[in-house]
Amino acid sequence: MIAALNLTFLVFAVIVACAALNVKDLLSAIVLLSAFSFFMCLLWTEMGAVDVAFTEAAVGAGVSTAFFVAAIYNTTRRTKD
């Protein structure tokens, strides 16, 4: 539990979350959401929750992104906001 590392990862997570909500392309938004998920994984490793971080790296950043990309492939990339 290192406070400086924790603060850095939290700031990056907030920036990436805001970027994922504001980018004008859905595929980019999903890639940014994957990056957000990976920062969450780093945060949990830093807090000592290794099992949860492992699950997040396998499920959140891996399989979840594959689901989103599959849904985008069947719908559209276009968004207005």
Partner 1 sequence: MIEWMVTKHSYWFYIILIMTGFYGMMAKNNLMKKLIGMNIFQWAIILYYISIGSKKGGTIPIIDAQAAVRHAVRAADYINPLPHVLMLTAIVVGVATTGIALTLLVIIYRKYGTLEEDEIIEALKK
Partner 2 sequence: MVRDLDDIIIRTCARIMVPFMQVYGLYVFVHGHSSPGGGFQGGCIMAASFILLATAFNIKEAKMRFTEKVNGIFCCLGVFIYAGTGAVAVIFSGNFLDYSRWTNILPTNPVMARYYGMALIELGVQITVMAVMVSIFLDLVTGGSHEEVMKTDD
Interacting residue ranges for partner 1, rule: CB under 8 A? 1, 6-7, 10-11, 13-14, 17-18, 20-21, 26, 29-30, 33, 36-37, 40, 43-44, 47-52, 55-56, 59-60, 63-64, 67-68, 70-72, 74-76, 79-81
Please report how close the Cβ of residue 34 comes to partner 2 at its closest, in angstroms.
13
Rama region for 48: left / alpha / beta (φ>0; ψ in -120 to 50; rest)? left
Q: What token pair was written down for 56?
A: 């997040």
Using CB distances below 5 to 8 A depending on partner kind, what does residue 81 bind out of partner 1, partner 2, none?
Answer: partner 1
Contact yes or no for 32/20 (Cβ under 8 A): yes
Calculate the CA dihedral of residues 36, 40, 42, 46 and round it to 10 degrees.
150
What residue ranges bind partner 2 (CB under 8 A)?
50-51, 53-55, 58-59, 62-63, 66-67, 70-71, 73-74, 76-78
Task: Give Dmax over CA atoms of the chain in angstroms.
Answer: 43
